[in-house]
Amino acid sequence: MSNIAMPHTELAGLYQAYLAKLSDQDIDELSQAKRFTELYAGDPAFRQDIYNHLDKLSYVADKYHLTIDIAQIMPWLCQRFAHDQLPAEVLDTYKKAPHNALLRKWIQYRKFLVQLRQSYRVLNDASQHNPSFHAWRLRQINRCDDTLKMSATHITHPSFAFELSDGCSVGCWFCGIAADKFNGYFLYNDTNQKLWRGMLTILRTSFGINPLQSAFCYWATDPTDNPDYLHFIKDFYDIAGIMPQSTLARPVKNVCWTKGLLDFSAKHPSIVNRFSITSLSQLKAVHKTFSAKELFPVELVMQHKQAKLSIMKSNAGRARLTQQALLNRDHNNNKKADIKSQLGLDDQHTTIACVSGFLINLCQKKIQLISPRVAGHKFPLGYKVHDECYFDSLQTFTDKINAIVEKHMASAITQDQIIRFREDLHYHENTKGFFLQNANRTYHINLGAHAKTLGKLIHHNQNIPLGTLMKQSAQEGANVLYSIGIINDLYKLGLLSDDVTTSKM
Ligand code: SF4
């Protein structure tokens, strides 16, 4: 590794700083509490054991080698699971149980994880290095918060995702981004390493350290498909100062490989890694292979059908196709709602796409500018591709990234830009001006007659360029300075449509 000085930044140190404050005993207890909740969420036999031995939970703890008093964490289950997911006896016994030291510790840790997610969204700040990109990302965040329902709260809007393979060999039926079949991986050789490190260095210089630290190295790919993955993310650490998050769909495929990843992550600034649990047998294998302590910094994402609290799936990508196939051969006349419920699809989970920024595939040398959208007919993968281009060297990579920023992220609206309200917003007039509204939010533009004139013109002329709009609004008596101010505010808040045709560069 090179001698690049480790950048000291808030984002990289957040998780490690929290862990450093915990004593060995804290970590032991929290690891055990975590395993208990994983067993409860993921294993129906464990749940049954709990229900059968509510008066003797120590028996269950011994049976599953848990070393804490699991009764102390039971009140948390009552909080975490919907009432209809818990037997009345559990609720009766534990809902009003007094808090205890272990429970407080566990709740605090869970709260910290939520705050950490929020910090990743907020501290990813490119305003100093690349104000145009920063403003573009904020517009995307605002739009997503307004439109993505529950998914909006889970998305941190990372600025970059890198794919180190082409396609994915796992082939999950629910893959929200419909990964293509595996078609090879990006080799770690001298040429590729030089390109990779060069790209990361350029992004760090052009966007700042925190946006780079928000990045991760998979998308429609599984890290385990690239045997050199660890080499690449060690380079990433060397340049970004943090280990990027890894989500593994096959954590026990090569245990040495996975332990190497966890070990390196544990010894360096990192973020919680994730294992995707796609079957009950996989949950059991993971618990057998990794100690509770080894799994403490790893979130288990329960995707399997026996999970009590499995991740509700977004109706996107392959899940969407699966649903469609079932509907097509629904000879029993099942209702769409039943099929959705069988598949675990939930309308609140509108997308699994999280990046507002650049998706970069190293195998194909492809750059896409993307942002999350509600998955549906228009955006079946739950994200919009604003632009797409290819590079063949470090120089063309730099040029293409700069060209995308210039083309899509103007700091102010140009005269020829089409002005249209965002598609999800309904326009209404009132005595104070106008307001824009969707199911989530209302934006009031209370600037009287000037605003009303401008709002009406935008509403009735769906494809009007800014220059023409300004002329017409002035002819109808609106003050130009007011009008420009309103347009700029609408733009900054992401209330204008950016729904333009994707172009090839
Ligand atoms: S969900 Fe992940 S592991 Fe599964 S097919 Fe899609 S990219 Fe691959």
Q: Assess if residue 5 is contained within a domain.
A: no
Residue 332 shares a structural domain with residue 361: yes
Report the CATH number at residue 458: 3.90.930.60
Place of tokens 């040029």: 399
Of 408, 434, 449, the domain-final residue: 408
Q: Assess if residue 124 is contained within a domain.
A: yes
Task: State the distance from the centre of ligand 1 to the C-alpha of 149, rounded, in angstroms.
Answer: 23
- Candidates 77, 127, 64; CA nearest to 106 is 77
User: CA dihedral defined by 184, 187, 193, 194, rounded to 10 degrees?
Assistant: -80
Residue 396 shares a structural domain with residue 363: yes
Of 63, 78, 106, the domain-final residue: 106
Place of tokens 């002819």: 475
Please check the confidence at residue 4 and state whether its pLDDT lies above 80.
Answer: no
State if residue 49 touches ligand 1 by the CB under 6 angstroms criterion.
Answer: no
pLDDT of residue 7: 44
For the stretch 461-477, pLDDT in tens is: 878 899 999 999 999 99
- Candidates 21, 11, 12, 39; CA nearest to 109 is 21
Residue 100 shares a structural domain with residue 87: yes
Task: State the distance from the centre of ligand 1 to the C-alpha of 477, rounded, in angstroms.
Answer: 56
Residue 84 shares a structural domain with residue 149: no
For the stretch 337-350, pLDDT in tens is: 777 777 777 788 88
Residue 92 shares a structural domain with residue 32: yes
State if residue 171 touches ligand 1 by the CB under 6 angstroms criterion.
Answer: yes
Q: Assess if residue 3 is contained within a domain.
A: no
Q: Assess if residue 242 is contained within a domain.
A: yes
Residue 21 shares a structural domain with residue 89: yes
Structure tokens belonging to residue 197: 């490190």
Total count of domains within the chain: 3
Burial of 80 (0-12, 13-18, 19+ CB in 10 A): middle
Identify residue 308 by its one-letter amino acid code.
Answer: K
Residue 97 shares a structural domain with residue 148: no
Residue 46 shares a structural domain with residue 114: no
Q: Report how far residue 170's alpha carbon sits from residue 279's, in angstroms, rounded to the nearest whole number.
A: 13
Instruction: Tell me the C-alpha to C-alpha distance, in Å, between residue 396 and each of 78, 200, 203, 246.
Output: 55, 14, 13, 28
Residue 226 shares a structural domain with residue 326: yes
With contact defined as beta carbons under 8 Å apart, do 31 and 295 qualify?
yes
Residue 291 shares a structural domain with residue 432: no
The average pLDDT across 412-432 equals 92
State if residue 172 touches ligand 1 by the CB under 6 angstroms criterion.
Answer: yes
For the stretch 230-241, pLDDT in tens is: 999 999 999 999
Indicate which atom in ligand 1 lies nearest the CA of residue 171: 5
Q: Assess if residue 2 is contained within a domain.
A: no
Task: State the distance from the centre of ligand 1 to the C-alpha of 177, rounded, in angstroms.
Answer: 8
Residue 83 shares a structural domain with residue 143: no
Q: Assess if residue 203 is contained within a domain.
A: yes
pLDDT of residue 6: 41
Task: State the distance from the centre of ligand 1 to the C-alpha of 170, rounded, in angstroms.
Answer: 6
Longest CA pairwise span in the chain (Å) = 82
pTM: 0.92
For the stretch 11-58, pLDDT in tens is: 788 998 999 999 999 999 999 999 999 999 999 999 999 989 988 999
Q: Assess if residue 413 is contained within a domain.
A: no
State if residue 168 touches ligand 1 by the CB under 6 angstroms criterion.
Answer: yes
For strand 442-445 and strand 273-277, is the pairing parallel, antiparallel, or unpaired?
unpaired
Pocket residue to mutate for ligand 1, from 166, 168, 310, most atoms within 8 A of Cβ: 168
Q: Report how far residue 297's alpha carbon sits from residue 17's, in angstroms, rounded to the nearest whole number.
A: 13
Of 106, 127, 153, the domain-final residue: 106
- Candidates 263, 231, 216, 200; CA nearest to 1 is 231
Of 305 and 101, the structure prediction assigns the larger pLDDT to 101
Q: Assess if residue 4 is contained within a domain.
A: no
- Candidates 137, 215, 162, 224; CA nearest to 366 is 162
Report the CATH number at residue 231: 3.20.20
Indicate which atom in ligand 1 lies nearest the CA of residue 219: 7
Q: Report how far residue 256's alpha carbon sits from residue 259's, in angstroms, rounded to the nearest whole number.
A: 5
State if residue 345 touches ligand 1 by the CB under 6 angstroms criterion.
Answer: no
Residue 400 shares a structural domain with residue 422: no
DSSP 279-339: SHHHHHHHHHHS-TTTTTTEEEEE-STT-TTPPPBPS-HHHHHHHHHHHHT-TT---HHHH
Structural domain range at position 87: 10-106
Indicate which atom in ligand 1 lies nearest the CA of residue 220: 7
With contact defined as beta carbons under 8 Å apart, do 148 and 176 qualify?
no
State if residue 175 touches ligand 1 by the CB under 6 angstroms criterion.
Answer: yes
